[in-house]
Amino acid sequence: MVDEMMGGVMGLEFPVVGNFPFTESRSCIFVNSGRAALQLLLQNREERPRRVLVPRFVCDTVMQPMKRLSIPVERYHCNDQLRPELPEDLREDDVLLLVNYFGFTGRAVEEAARQHRGTSIVDATTALFSQTQLPCFYSPRKFCGLADGGVACDSRDFSIYPNDTDSSAVKSLFLLERLETGFSLASHLCELAEQDLNTEPRDMSPVTRSLIGAYDFDTIRRRRLENYAALHRLLGGINRLELPEHAPAAPMCYPLVSGIPDLRDSLIDAGVALPLFWPEVIKATTAESVENRLARTLLPLPLDQRYTPEDMERLASLVLGK
């Protein structure tokens, strides 16, 4: 419980913008992480699933809710355009997990869900601005400075809620370090904060709620769309992913798959941070598989609200070696 004492020590004060894409309700709840949101969506089903079908090209953290709930998992493939290839033995009592990759595969997700007579849940942790009527979970910290937080949206009211409220004060230290000392130390502290997300679902912390209310998500959306348009105009011709001229939703990044050798290393040497999506996929799959190739070659170029179309032109020049 936040101390309501009048006076005393001054704390941080955040403006209230209030245009987060989601409104809390009985069918949309704010929790401590995306994986916690998935767990609540699974627990909110009328019947316990026989199993959950999970794509091979996804972060391993998504497996934690099924492990905690002792629900069997089967993996399925995607094609080289990140579209799901559904298993033939899919049954009505299976839950199908579908990933909207970076905000670009929403239509493929909807089409796959129509093929499944049972429950489909959308992993939109990399697609904050994508909307769907399907049960879905989001991770806003991938789109702005947050230490934690997740959103679970269902087609029905939730019958189960977290018993505890999360605490983000210590986890959020990397946000201050990023501001004061730069990337290196903040990155290490961010990794430590990530480890604290492996918990049972909790209500979203007061710190994260305040920060979410302070961010201008309309501006975040607009700038990401502008930066995507600039990058795609310059790099669309070399991208082996078939991306649209206009992004269907403000994307997390510009996913580039090119044939340029050693491009990741050269961009990192030039000062571009490029996380690997996802190293565990490389370890768990054969070198010939689509998922292994995507994990090795997909470069998530930054296009977030900190940058301008002019920054994107400089980034594209680095990619093209100009």
pLDDT in tens, 29-74: 999 999 999 999 999 999 999 999 999 999 999 999 999 999 999 9
pLDDT (0 to 100) of residue 180: 87
Q: What is the pLDDT of residues 160-195, one digit of tens each?
A: 999 999 999 999 888 888 888 877 778 888 888 888
pLDDT (0 to 100) of residue 187: 84
Cα distance between residue 171 and residue 136, in whole Å? 25
The residue among 97, 73, 101 whose CA lies nearest residue 86 is 97
State the pLDDT confidence band at 2, using cuts at 50, 70 and 90.
low
Q: What is the end-to-end Cα distance of the chain in Å, rounded?
A: 55
Cα distance between residue 322 and residue 309, in whole Å? 17
Amino acid at 234: L
Q: Is the pLDDT of residue 1 over 60?
A: no
Q: Provide φ and ψ at 120, rounded to 5°.
A: -115, 135
Amino acid at 157: D
Cα distance between residue 286 and residue 216, in whole Å? 43
Q: What is the pLDDT of residues 101-160, one digit of tens each?
A: 999 999 999 999 999 999 999 999 999 999 999 999 999 999 999 999 999 999 999 999
pLDDT (0 to 100) of residue 212: 96
39 contact partners, CB below 8 Å, separation of at least 6: 64, 65, 68, 69, 200, 201
pLDDT (0 to 100) of residue 99: 98
Q: What is the pLDDT of residues 74-107, one digit of tens each?
A: 999 999 999 999 999 999 999 999 999 999 999 9
pLDDT (0 to 100) of residue 61: 95
Q: Residues 130, 106: contact at Cβ < 8 Å?
A: yes
